[in-house]
């Protein structure tokens, strides 16, 4: 694979795309998991399908359409949720299926033979184009910059929104900004994992990081590292076996997560046993 | 004397139901106001309205002659129920430091040494400075409660609102918290919501009784009539050994 990276442009693109995807999904993934926005992210991602369809119908880059649709979905869901009166998972569900339905309608309206949308649904990192890559670079840079620049405000907001608003931090602005960041992240991830599989990339690295670290910043760093490992090895497997990259990366991430989880459970159980047996020995000795 | 809180004809509705109705209340600078009342009496609602956390239906509230939006840094708040996720990856020190954040948004902000000293000092004040490096998930309920007080103090407020700060702390810590409040009250105004009638008798300078409306506001002396209107069962209170300063009517009955 290493020689292929130097040889083929598409492999270079795929490699850069995986690194970018790992960075944003590590950082935003930790926030999404902590703020319990996993389903929200799913909704935003699936709404993007409508944008992809519109792009094909009107003849512009589908990824731009995906970007516009996910950002509008993020703002729309955020606005309705803030207004109250409706449960947020209801709105998420509605946006989720509306986006998909619009995508199907737009594609059906297209004259001629329908395009293959699989690479948007399931991700095909090997088909990343230069235009995709430029958009991904810009979005990743924005996401990382915004999170780092406001890190302390984010921390206060994520931990306790009420207190943050009492001391005058602009929590409403942060709420919308966070949803837009999620939308941007989703767009970066679409080419790598696909609309349907995005959730795994957002959750698996950060969930795994939460096993290894109890601090927000180091959790993000761990999540980025895990993301890089999953994406690059997934890419390698998909290149060798000629299977869609999204599926490989997702299966790898999820399997790794459950594996780590199982090891941790066993580890904790053994520790408990050790402590218990020590206590028993201690009691016996004291009886003697 | 300066007025810390001026509440004029305040009503707050949740949907159709009124939580508090037509409240008029002034709190002077340097006062120590205790608020008591039955569950659902609107105590937390009143504090949240003062803080601008919930929309008020009618009336208006002023903090040091300005609206709360213009005077945020003057007020510290210790909530009744921690709404946040206790498993959030953040340390005790980091939580207290959030009290030092500037209003609005600050780009690439780093906490200064002064911020850290202030945070440490407040942790010491509530007696949990030895836990500074702990993750909040590793704190007990009472330790967490004290952390919230330390965080509120880090803002350096002129006015401190506390919603049942002693509900889950042990007797020693409770004594310590009241001692701290007494100290703080030399400089700042305090509003304390509590079900702890013992505290009301010995700590507060003024008392407000809230049961949807303001049943009583004045010296911390209660007569049977007010208690009756407030809880509907004065006898119970007496049976629990409420000291005589609270229940004026029974003063004669208890040997001094
Ligand atoms: N978010 C809400 N939505 C609808 N009604 C609410 C809400 N919060 C409180 N209420 C209602 O408003 C009334 C006052 O509630 P509040 O929390 O202010 O009482 P409280 O005096 O603090 O009680 P407690 O002693 O139990 O803390 C109650 O009847 C409650 O049912
Ligand atoms: Mg309350």
CB contacts of B135 in chain A (<8 Å) are 214
Residue B89 CB coordination number (10 Å) = 24
A34, A160 Cβ separation under 8 angstroms: no
Q: How close B84 comes to chain A (CA, Å)?
A: 5
Closest by Cβ to A153, choosing from B79, B105, B111: B105
Which of A211-225, B72-86, B136-150, B222-236 bottoms out in mean pLDDT, i.e. has the lowest?
B222-236
Residue B211 beta carbon below 6 angstroms from any ligand 1 atom:
no
**pTM of the model as a whole:** 0.89
| Ligand 1 pocket, residue B44 CB under 6 Å | yes
Chain B interface includes A170 (CB < 8 A): yes
> Is pLDDT above 50 for B238?
no
Compute the Cα dihedral for B39, B43, B48, B54 and give only its sign.
positive
Residue-level pLDDT at A219: 95
Contact A205, A29 (CB under 8 A): yes
Q: What is the mean pLDDT of chain A?
A: 91
Q: Contact, A205 vs A24, CB < 8 A?
A: no
Assess contact for B196 and B24: CB atoms under 8 A.
no
Interface residue A156 vs chain B (CB under 8 A): yes
| CB atoms near residue B93 (< 10 Å) | 18
For residue B236, pLDDT beyond 60: no
Q: What is the predicted pLDDT for the residue at B248?
A: 52
d(CA B54, CA A36): 23
Contact B81, B165 (CB under 8 A): no
Q: pLDDT at position A161, please?
A: 92
Q: Is the CB of B230 under 6 A from ligand 1?
A: no
Q: What is the pLDDT, as a whole number, of residue B239?
A: 43
ipTM of the complex: 0.86
Ligand 1 atom 12 nearest Cα: B19
Q: Tell me, what's the pLDDT at B81?
A: 73
pLDDT tens digits along B49-89: 999 999 999 999 999 999 888 888 899 999 987 778 888 99
Among B40, B111, B48, residue whose Cα is nearest residue B79: B48
Residue A138 reports pLDDT greater than 90: yes
Ranking B91-100, B121-130, B141-150, B243-252 by mean pLDDT, the lowest is B243-252
pLDDT > 80? residue A233: yes
Using the predicted structure, report yes or no on whether residue A110 has a pLDDT greater than 50.
yes
Ligand 1 centroid to Cα of residue B235, in Å, is 25
Atom 5 (ligand 1) nearest CA: B14
- b or e along B144-178 (b: 16 or more beta carbons within 10 Å of the residue's beta carbon)? bbbbbbbbbbbbebbbbbbbbbbbebeeebbebbb
Residues of chain B contacting A148 with CB distance shorter than 8 Å: 108
Question: Helix, strand, coil shares of chain B as percentages rounded to 5?
Answer: 35, 25, 40
Distance from CA of B234 to the nearest CA of A (A): 36
Higher pLDDT, B15 or B123: B123
User: Is residue A260 a contact partner of residue A209, using CB atoms and an 8 Å limit?
Assistant: no
pLDDT value of position A90? 93
pLDDT band per the 50, 70, 90 thresholds, residue B2: confident
B45 CB under 6 A from ligand 1?
yes
Calculate Rg over the CA atoms of chain A: 22
Residue B169 has pLDDT above 90, yes or no: no
Q: What is the pLDDT of residues B22-49, one digit of tens each?
A: 999 999 999 999 999 889 999 999 999 9
A285 CB contacts (<8 Å, ≥6 apart)? none
In this complex, the residue of B75, B84, B91 whose CB is nearest that of residue A160 is B84
H/E stretch holding B211: strand B206-211
Scanning chain B, the segments in alpha helix (DSSP H) are 43-51, 92-98, 113-125, 141-154, 171-184, 197-202, 224-231, 234-239
- Whether the CA torsion B43, B98, B62, B182 is positive or negative: it is positive
Helix (H, G, I), strand (E, B) or coil at B193: strand
Which ligand is nearest to the Cα of residue B49, counting in written order? Answer: 1
The ligand with the least distance to the CA atom of B80 is 2
Q: Given pLDDT bands bounded at 50, 70 and 90, which one contains residue A225?
A: very high
A27 in B contact zone (CB under 8 Å): no
Q: How far is CA A4 from the centre of its chain?
A: 27
B130: pLDDT strictly greater than 60: yes
d(CA A223, CA A203): 9
Digit-coded pLDDT (tens) for A47-101? 999 999 999 999 998 999 999 999 999 999 999 988 877 888 899 999 999 999 9
């Amino acid at each position: 694979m290493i020689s292929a990276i130097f040889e083929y442009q598409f492999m270079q693109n795929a490699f850069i795309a995986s690194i970018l995807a790992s960075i944003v999904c590590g950082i935003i993934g930790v926030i999404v998991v902590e703020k319990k926005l996993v389903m929200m992210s799913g909704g935003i991602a699936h709404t993007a399908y409508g944008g992809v369809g519109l792009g094909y119908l009107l003849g512009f880059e589908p990824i731009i359409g995906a970007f516009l649709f996910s950002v509008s979905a993020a703002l729309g869901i955020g606005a309705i949720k803030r207004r109250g009166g409706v449960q947020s998972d209801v709105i998420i569900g509605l946006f989720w299926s509306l986006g998909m339905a619009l995508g199907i309608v737009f594609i059906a309206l297209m004259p001629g033979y329908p395009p293959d949308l699989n690479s948007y649904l399931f991700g095909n990192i090997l088909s990343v184009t230069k235009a995709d890559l430029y958009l991904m670079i810009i979005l990743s840079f924005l996401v990382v910059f915004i999170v780092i620049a406001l890190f302390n405000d984010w921390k206060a907001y994520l931990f306790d929104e009420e207190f943050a608003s009492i001391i005058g931090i602009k929590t409403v602005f942060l709420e919308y900004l966070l949803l837009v960041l999620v939308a941007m992240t989703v767009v970066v991830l679409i080419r790598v994992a696909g609309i349907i599989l995005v959730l795994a990339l957002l959750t698996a690295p950060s969930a795994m990081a939460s096993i290894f670290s109890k601090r927000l910043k180091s959790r993000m760093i761990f999540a980025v590292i895990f993301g890089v490992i999953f994406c690059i090895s997934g890419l390698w497997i998909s290149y060798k076996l000629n299977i869609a990259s999204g599926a490989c990366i997702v299966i790898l991430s999820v399997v790794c997560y459950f594996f780590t989880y199982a090891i941790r459970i066993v580890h904790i159980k053994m520790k408990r046993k050790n402590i218990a047996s020590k206590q028993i020995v201690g009691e016996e000795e004291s009886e003697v | 004397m300066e007025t810390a809180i001026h509440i004029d004809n305040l009503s707050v509705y949740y949907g159709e139901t009124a939580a508090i109705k037509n409240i008029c209340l002034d709190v002077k600078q340097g006062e120590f106001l205790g608020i008591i009342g039955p569950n659902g009496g609107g105590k937390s609602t009143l504090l949240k309205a003062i803080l601008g956390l919930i929309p008020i239906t009618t009336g208006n509230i002023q903090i040091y002659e300005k609206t709360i939006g213009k005077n945020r840094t003057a007020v510290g708040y210790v909530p009744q129920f921690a709404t946040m996720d206790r498993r959030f990856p953040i340390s005790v020190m980091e939580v207290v430091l959030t009290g030092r954040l500037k209003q609005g948004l600050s780009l690439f902000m780093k906490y200064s040494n002064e911020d850290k000293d202030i945070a440490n000092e407040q942790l010491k004040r509530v007696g949990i400075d030895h836990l500074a490096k702990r993750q909040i998930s590793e704190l007990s309920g009472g330790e967490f409660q004290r952390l919230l007080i330390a965080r509120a103090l880090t803002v350096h407020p002129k006015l401190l609102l506390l919603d049942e700060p002693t509900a889950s702390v042990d007797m020693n810590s409770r004594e310590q918290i009241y001692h701290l409040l007494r100290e703080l009250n030399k400089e700042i105004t305090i509003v304390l919501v509590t079900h702890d009638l013992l505290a009301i008798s010995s700590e507060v300078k003024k008392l407000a009784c809230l049961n949807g409306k303001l049943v009583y506001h004045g010296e911390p002396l209660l007569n049977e009539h007010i208690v009756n209107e407030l809880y509907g069962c004065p006898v119970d209170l007496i049976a629990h050994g409420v000291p005589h300063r609270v229940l004026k009517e029974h003063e004669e009955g208890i040997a001094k």
